[in-house]
Amino acid sequence: MSVKPTILIYNFTDRKRKNKIQAFCGMHGIRVKMVAKEDYGRAIRTLFEASLEVPDGDCKQEVLESFDDEMLVMCQLGRQMDLLLNYLRKERVHIPLKAVLTPVNQEWDSVRLYHEIKSEHEQMTGQPLKK
């Protein structure tokens, strides 16, 4: 899969926070895709592809579960990932649920990825995720 540096963002309802992310990404050639709840059943890798058309053979699952927490997933950022994370920290855009596309999680749907990184976050901090 050859993909331009891209981030997926979920549930960013605060316009100011979303605009900060989009402005930074625009200046650094990073594409931003806002994932709609109806796409939560798609394999993560397909959400990074140029078109949101469902490719042949993509097993889009019916979305039986959802989530409302903000989540950010990165793909092909390379050195830009450090720049983005430093920028978010500097601008106080706190996003506890962050992930990178990997060979392990690329076939997961958004809900499975959400549960996995939420669990990891809670184990690392020893506290439930704060809303």
Digits of tens for pLDDT over the chain (131 positions)? 566 899 999 999 999 999 999 999 999 999 999 999 999 999 999 999 855 454 555 555 565 688 999 999 999 998 999 999 999 999 999 999 999 999 999 999 999 999 999 999 899 888 888 76
pTM, entire model: 0.86
Grouping H, G, I as helix, E, B as strand and the rest as coil, residue 35 is: coil
pLDDT score at 16: 95
Report the pLDDT value the prediction gives residue 4, as an integer from 0 to 100.
87
pLDDT at 24: 95
Which of 114, 127, 94 shows the shortest CA–CA distance to 44? 114
Report yes or no: 39 and 52 within 8 Å, Cβ to Cβ.
yes
Q: Residue 127's pLDDT is what?
A: 83
